[in-house]
Amino acid sequence: MSNKKQSTQPRISVIGTGYLGATHAAAMAEMGFEVIGVDTDPAKVAALAAGQVPFFEPGLPELLIKHVSSGRLRFTTDIAEATAMSDVHFICVGTPQQRGSNAANTAYVEAATLAVVKNLSHDGLIVGKSTVPVGTGAKLRSIVRENIPEGLTAELIWNPEFLREGKAVADTLTPDRLVIGGASPKAEALMREVYAMPLATGTPMIVCDLPTAELVKVSANAFLATKISFINAIAEICEAAGADVKVLADALGHDVRIGRQFLNAGLGFGGGCLPKDIRALMHRSSELGAYSAASLLQQVDEINMSQRQRVIDLTLEAVGGSVLNRRIGVLGAAFKPDTDDVRDSPALNVAAALHLRGAQVIVFDPEANETAKRSFPTLSYAETMEEAVTGSDAVLVLTEWPEFVNSDPAALFALAANPAIIDARNCLDAASWTGAGWTLRSLGRPAGVAADSGASVLGTSSVVGELVPAA
């Protein structure tokens, strides 16, 4: 590209420093690049510049501090400064669900792209990483063409992210695949330079057209969501027939065509990624006339949401039909372990629903108490697991944190007013809990079946799938 700034290697800007952007910026610095992160929120920029991560992600604080201290990673609110010092511009802003619609809101992506283009001082490559509806890239290319300063050139391509919350650093540094969409030979060569480190270790790069790249992330999330909803639908059959959904899932998982990951019956998926992504894909499919996909995703979403009501029903059964003035201990607020993300958290949804029925709900989460308080301030929060269990008429395990899975049922039994526990994630050893005196209920499993029964029967341990995080 002509007029490109002279440097020994491309310099990188990351537009948007939320979960995706902060992680990507730190990882790019770890790969050896000079990186500048840009955000419109001065408080967030100040925190990151001080080496403080405003959310919980294992390994990210250490990476951030390392490269802020070295000077390789900087943060600013000045988009002109960022574009002036950079050659490759990653768009990492959010695409939340539109109000009153299932469609994704691409306004932030459009604004970020426009800001980069208008402030270009030399030729550049704009790389979309945000999760967007198919067709967004074509619209953004029009924005680039119409607003680029005279005498400069810029190319827009797509490079979707595949981060899992709790494993985002590893997923960026050692991804299982890289997808590059709509790139010219020059842009592809530049992206191979940017990703030289993972490519050198064998990470495959799939080079494709722009629409295919836009569809990869949402299709992956839709498939994973479908797999989760499938096993939850089978769990309903298991309950009616007296079968054990976990043993069934273990048996299915031995088929290499199916695999064991994401076949964990329970409360279902949540977070800032899967729910909004499948709804956005459902909406876009209908717009394109692909009604079979829209219908399938509608069923996936409905099955997933129904699991929350099923856990509420089990809780009502456990306390005699009404939770009014009953103390309910809720273990878990984050939508999954190893994160403090409570966006569309099934755990908090269930907790709030019980609160609205008159229950005294006491929530404990090892990392997400503070984020949960901001979203659901009317709930009560405990400082420890033991505090949440003390005096409870029922205990609900809604997020499978290791400290809940490995807790001592006998010690907790002594604290509960009524030793009833709802294992909404099928993560507890039911034999240990019932042996300690607890009445245990779970989804899709007969009462009193040990959580590792599938392993003892099949000679293999189950694999817990990971949800894919949000931009």
Q: Tell me: the pLDDT tens digits for 257-277? A: 999 999 999 999 999 999 999
Q: Say whether 288 sits in a helix, a strand or coil.
A: coil
Q: Is the pLDDT of residue 455 over 60?
A: no
Q: Is the pLDDT of residue 456 over 60?
A: no
Q: Which region among 30-34, 265-269, 437-441, 453-457 has the lowest average model confidence (pLDDT)?
A: 453-457
Both tokens of residue 42?
Answer: 């001065």
Q: What is the mean pLDDT of residues 68-94?
A: 96
Q: How much is the pLDDT for 35?
A: 98
Residue 141 lies in a domain: yes
Question: CA 346, CA 335: separation in Å to the nearest integer?
Answer: 6
pLDDT band at 453 (very low <50, low <70, confident <90, very high): very low
Q: Where are the alpha helices (DSSP H) in 135-290?
A: 136-147, 168-173, 185-194, 196-200, 210-241, 245-253, 274-287
Give backbone dihedrals phi and psi of 405, rounded to 5 degrees, phi first. Answer: -60, -40
pLDDT in tens, 147-157: 999 999 999 99
Question: CA 72, CA 309: separation in Å to the nearest integer?
Answer: 49
Residue 7 lies in a domain: no
Task: List C-alpha distances in Å: 259 to 223, 231, 254, 255, 463.
Answer: 13, 12, 6, 6, 9
Residue 463 lies in a domain: no
Whether 273 sits among the annotated catalytic residues: the reply is: yes
Whether residues 243 and 192 share a domain: the answer is: no
Q: What is the mean pLDDT of residues 125-136?
A: 97
Handedness of CA 212, 16, 55, 381 (dihedral sign): negative
Task: List C-alpha distances in Å: 303 to 268, 328, 471.
Answer: 9, 25, 24
Q: Is 199 exposed, middle or buried (0-12, 13-18, 19+ CB in 10 A)?
A: middle
Q: Mind giving me the DSSP string for 239-265?
A: HHHT--HHHHHHHHHTSTTT-STT---
Whether residues 32 and 152 share a domain: the answer is: yes
Whether residues 150 and 266 share a domain: the answer is: no
Q: Among residues 158, 175, 208, which one ends one of the domains?
A: 208
Q: Among residues 186, 208, 230, which one ends one of the domains?
A: 208
Whether residues 83 and 222 share a domain: the answer is: no
Whether residues 204 and 341 share a domain: the answer is: no
Q: Is the pLDDT of residue 386 over 90?
A: yes
Q: What is the mean pLDDT of residues 58-81?
A: 96
Q: How much is the pLDDT for 328?
A: 98
* Number of CB atoms found within 10 A of residue 125's CB: 25
Whether residues 262 and 195 share a domain: the answer is: no
Name all contacts of 148-151 with Cβ < 8 Å and 24+ positions apart. 148/117, 148/120, 149/118, 149/120, 151/3
Question: CA 127, CA 79: separation in Å to the nearest integer?
Answer: 16
Q: Is the separation of the CB atoms in 153 and 123 below 8 Å? A: yes
Q: How much is the pLDDT for 64?
A: 96
Q: What is the mean pLDDT of residues 159-178?
A: 96
Q: Is the pLDDT of residue 303 over 60?
A: yes
Q: How much is the pLDDT for 337?
A: 97
Question: CA 402, CA 51: separation in Å to the nearest integer?
Answer: 28
Q: In what order do the strands lie in the sheet with 154-158?
A: 73-76, 35-38, 12-15, 88-91, 124-128, 154-158, 178-181, 205-208
Q: What is the mean pLDDT of residues 81-105?
A: 95
Q: What mean pLDDT value characterizes the chain?
A: 93
Q: Which region among 71-80, 301-310, 380-389, 453-462 has the lowest average model confidence (pLDDT)?
A: 453-462
Whether residues 183 and 225 share a domain: the answer is: no
Q: Is the separation of the CB atoms in 12 and 36 below 8 Å? A: yes
Comparing CA positions, the residue from 135, 139, 391 lying closest to residue 283 is 135
* Domain CATH code at residue 87: 3.40.50.720
Name all contacts of 111-117 with Cβ < 8 Å and 24+ positions apart. 112/15, 112/16, 113/140, 113/143, 113/144, 113/156, 114/143, 114/147, 115/15, 115/79, 116/13, 116/15, 116/79, 116/83, 116/89, 116/91, 117/143, 117/144, 117/147, 117/148, 117/154
Q: Among residues 185, 208, 231, which one ends one of the domains?
A: 208
Q: How much is the pLDDT for 462?
A: 33
Question: CA 109, CA 37: separation in Å to the nearest integer?
Answer: 15
pLDDT in tens, 207-225: 999 999 999 999 999 999 9
Q: How much is the pLDDT for 57?
A: 94
Q: Is the separation of the CB atoms in 174 and 145 below 8 Å? A: no
Q: Is 119 exposed, middle or buried (0-12, 13-18, 19+ CB in 10 A)?
A: middle
Total count of domains within the chain: 2
Q: What is the mean pLDDT of residues 371-398?
A: 97
Residue 1 lies in a domain: no
Q: How much is the pLDDT for 144?
A: 98
Whether residues 192 and 131 share a domain: the answer is: yes
Q: What is the mean pLDDT of residues 46-62?
A: 94
Residue 97 lies in a domain: yes
Q: Is the separation of the CB atoms in 4 and 122 below 8 Å? A: yes
Whether residues 367 and 399 share a domain: the answer is: yes
Residue 63 lies in a domain: yes
Q: In what order do the strands lie in the sheet with 420-423?
A: 380-381, 360-364, 327-331, 394-397, 420-423, 439-442
pTM listed for this prediction: 0.89
Whether residues 129 and 225 share a domain: the answer is: no
Residue 4 lies in a domain: no
Q: Is the pLDDT of residue 468 over 70?
A: no
Whether residues 201 and 222 share a domain: the answer is: no
| Containing structural domain, residue 51 | 12-208
- Pick the catalytic residue: 92, 208, 238, 273? 273
Whether residues 41 and 162 share a domain: the answer is: yes
Residue 213 lies in a domain: no
Q: How much is the pLDDT for 447?
A: 64
Question: CA 318, CA 50: separation in Å to the nearest integer?
Answer: 49
